[in-house]
Amino acid sequence: MANRLTALQEQGQGVWLDYIRRNMLQSGELRGLIENDGLRGMTANPTIFQQAIAAGNDYDESVSRLIRAGADPIDIYEAVAVEDIQAAADQFTPVYESTNGADGYVSLEVAPSLARNTEGTIDEARRLWKMVGRPNLMIKVPGTKEGVPAIKLLLSEGINVNVTLLFSLEAYETVAWAYVEALEERAAKGEPVDRIASVASFFVSRIDTLVDSLLDAKLANIPSPSGRDTIERLKGKAAIANAKLAYESFGKIFGGDRFAALKAKGARVQRPLWASTSVKNPAYSDLMYVEALVGPDTVDTMPRDTLEAFRDHGTAARTVDQGLDDARQTMKTLAEVGIDFKKVTDQVETEGVEKFVASFDDLVAGIESKRAALVASGTRA
């Protein structure tokens, strides 16, 4: 039987893994995913590193060495994260080279506390880019209002950027044009644009989690079956409709005359990356967010469980640009029943930043606990 994951690649979609842990880098597991499943990249965030470092003993040797060197918890996190990202990037180098830089990227995030700090984001991104020292690195920068100027400047300097925490069509279009403007600046200075890479990480399932809860609240106050039916049919529809409309905007921006001038110089499109594609509601199909958003020039970053589920029973058929009229009708009906979608996307962006900050705080606390335990057990000896 053909591999369902590699079938996504045949549809023009790159599969990335939303997970990293040292044992998978050392055991050959990652290499197997690349060679057998066509894995094209990897993303990481504070939550993933918190789970990896705080649990088990994969990192004890590195943490012990850093303790002896006098490192604090943040320095320890950064050192082990950079080691992992470098090792992963090296394993993706054959993909990067065989695709001439079109794929094979590994992402590392700036500190979440900088999401509202333009200058701080720029400084940290430059520092991390230099520390990792791999051409197939992407620096993850939130697509907040404050993040956009940083994204544009970093791209203009030749730093690859994974724009994260995008929820609204407006935010997506803003960062897509920032990418175009950054490449135009490079081209105007006679600098190459053919090796700059970026993805726009558009989050999916979190939209439905919030919208469905708002719809449930409305259902509780509607006694008539007809009124309830309209609202019931909207559940589980907002996120995919929103993402399809973002892909439509992608096609207009990167298929237009303005980008054509850059394309003639070798520039690549900024691919939409579907993030948060694991299903939060067990009543929904486990692959609904993956199967509904398959298409050319896209990336899907999947947690391990979702990747394994797709390998087992996924369907790889082009869907991302189908049902656009239905998507527009969904958004129209949501407004008619009183769902303010701008408030939804503003809220999930705020919550997204807060969750990443909390995860980073948990990560630092977990490293401190591990540090204390290792010191108590005689690590310094």
Residue 253 covered by a domain: no
Instruction: Please enumerate in sequence order all residues whose Cβ is within 8 A of that of 276, keeping only pairs 6 or more positions apart, or say none.
Output: 203, 204, 205, 206, 289
**For residue range 24-37, what is the model confidence (pLDDT) as tens digits?**
999 999 999 999 99
- Report pLDDT for 142: 96
- Report pLDDT for 1: 62
Tell me, what CATH number does 172's domain have? 3.20.20.70
Number of other residues whose CB lies within 10 A of the CB of residue 286: 17
Count of helix runs (H) and strand runs (E) in the chain: 17, 8
**For residue range 326-341, what is the model confidence (pLDDT) as tens digits?**
999 999 999 999 999 9
Closest CA to 355 of 59, 47, 132, 22: 47
Q: What is the pTM of this model?
A: 0.94
State mean pLDDT over 201-212.
97
Residue 200 covered by a domain: yes
**For residue range 331-375, what is the model confidence (pLDDT) as tens digits?**
999 999 999 999 999 999 999 999 889 888 888 888 888 777 777
Residue 219 covered by a domain: no
Residues assigned a catalytic role: 140
- Residue 277 pLDDT grade (very low, low, confident, very high; cuts 50, 70, 90): very high
Number of domains in the chain: 1
Residue 171 covered by a domain: yes
State mean pLDDT over 126-143.
98
Question: What residue type is 15 in one-letter code?
Answer: V
Residue 381 covered by a domain: no
Position 379 pLDDT exceeds 60? no
Residue 234 covered by a domain: no
Domain around 272: 4-204+266-322+350-376
Position 187 pLDDT exceeds 60? yes
Residue 240 covered by a domain: no
Residue 150 covered by a domain: yes
